[in-house]
Amino acid sequence: MNLFPMLTARAEAGRPIRIAQAGAGKFGTMFLAQARLTMGLHVAGLADLDPGRARQRLAEAGWEAERMSATSLDQAMASGATFVTNDAEAIIRDPRIEVVVEATGDPATGVRLARLAFAHGKSVVMVNVEADALVGPLLAEEARRAGVVYSLAWGDQPALIAEHVDWARACGFAVIAAGKGTRYLPSYHASTPETVWDIIRGYLKVEKHKVNLQMFNSFIDGTKSAIEMTAVCNACDLQPQAGGLTFPPASRFELAELLKPKSEGGLLEATGVTEVVSSLYRDGRDVPHHLAMGTYVVVTSESDYARRCFSEYAMLADKSGTYAALYRPTHMIGLELGISVASVALRREPTGTARVWNSDVAAVAKRALKSGEMLDGEGGFTVWGRQMPAAASRAVRALPIGLAHRVRLVRDVEQGAVLTIDDVALDAGNAAVAARAELVARYAR
């Protein structure tokens, strides 16, 4: 890779990549911690609903007071400091901004800000994978028409998996399965922000008051896995399995043995699919050498010689030597986001972008829901997100998880049922609702 020399050249020429970032949550703050140390990057503007909180997070990330002291974007451009504001749209519109980092985590905001960026000729690094799972194919198409780049975020698992898949195909391998590892038990689908702490406190070294329990719960109840694997399917032209993710327990040494077609003795319904493996056996015991937080791809080759090499070179091959697995044991989330920014600005290349609409994430009732109840979205008390084929989602008019937040039910829904658009009262003026309708209409043609 040659990104660092290219970044250095931009810095030496006095033309760093000017960045406008929306959102200073955990992922965004991790990027900011490294951005101040990366030659050739300048976060000129940082927007957050609470600028005071954003400055506090910058300080926690090691930023000196003078680095966040700019009182306007003009001053930031002149001094190299950062302008902290609550007006994301203003900094996105500025013609000196080159790349927009969307890290709000809110699908409606992500859609709105991405489209604004495209309209003003800005490339977008979409940390907000929830927005991508909702309407990624639409955003990617609009970016191409605008002559800019729309990219998933390097360091987050979907972009890392997309790299695995690209590597495999560039090497001439056939991709059998791709995905990640997580901590999973079937009972977790009913987890809520009130119960999730009992699950995570045993293995996460965090203090309860510093944790966004609803955000963490989206990882536990299966929703985040469905969202991320939908982003992977749509970026890599892979398919979701008809019943969604099954979360089989698997160590990294078992990936190639288990994640192959059922016809070959594996667990998959087909080849070219996504799957997430669990670090827990169904009885709650830890899987040894598990892949929790890691990513993988399982491949095969038409070449007998290549398949023989799988075993000869101690690759993670199945017993027959037909399938082999590549895995990455962990990911650094926002610490690696600079890769996406540099790739978008210097190569004009995404580190993952929606090319098709194969997969979707449908809202499923965690319990029996009554007409008049308010849904609370990803990781909440009412619904969890299940991955499903996009065609099937469109056919049943499934309510996507990205639209299942702060909307009211207009009829009862049974526990375990997939909610539909007709079950809720959606606001047609909501940016995400309107964009979703556009995407559905486009694929209906």
One-letter amino acid of 263: S
CATH number for the domain formed by residue range(s) 3-153+338-347: 3.40.50.720
CB 385 within 8 A of CB 223: yes
- Residues 64-111 have pLDDT tens digits of 999 999 999 999 999 999 999 999 999 999 999 999 999 999 999 999
Give the pair of three-digit tokens for residue 398: 């499934």
Cβ-proximal residues to 224 (8 Å cutoff; 6+ apart), any chain: 218, 378, 379, 385
Question: Would you kindly state where each structural domain of the chain is located, as residue ranges?
Answer: 3-153+338-347, 158-184+222-330, 359-444
- Residues 27-54 have pLDDT tens digits of 999 999 999 999 999 999 999 999 999 9
CB 217 within 8 A of CB 343: no
**Predicted pLDDT of residue 313:** 67
CATH topology for the 359-444 domain = Type Iii Antifreeze Protein Isoform Hplc 12 (3.90.1210)
- Residues 280-311 have pLDDT tens digits of 999 999 999 999 989 999 999 999 988 888 87
Q: Which residue has the higher pLDDT, 138 or 156?
A: 138
**Predicted pLDDT of residue 205:** 76
DSSP string of 294-357, one letter each residue: -EEEEEE-S-HHHHHHHHHTT-EE-TTSSEEEEEES---GGGGHHHHHHIIIII---SS---S-
Q: What mean pLDDT is reported for the chain?
A: 94
Q: How far is the C-alpha of 157 from the C-alpha of 216, rounded, in Å?
A: 16
| Position 125 confidence tier, pLDDT thresholds 50, 70, 90 | very high
| Position 330 confidence tier, pLDDT thresholds 50, 70, 90 | low
* Helix (H), strand (E) at residue 378: none
Return the bridge partners of 82, or none. Answer: none
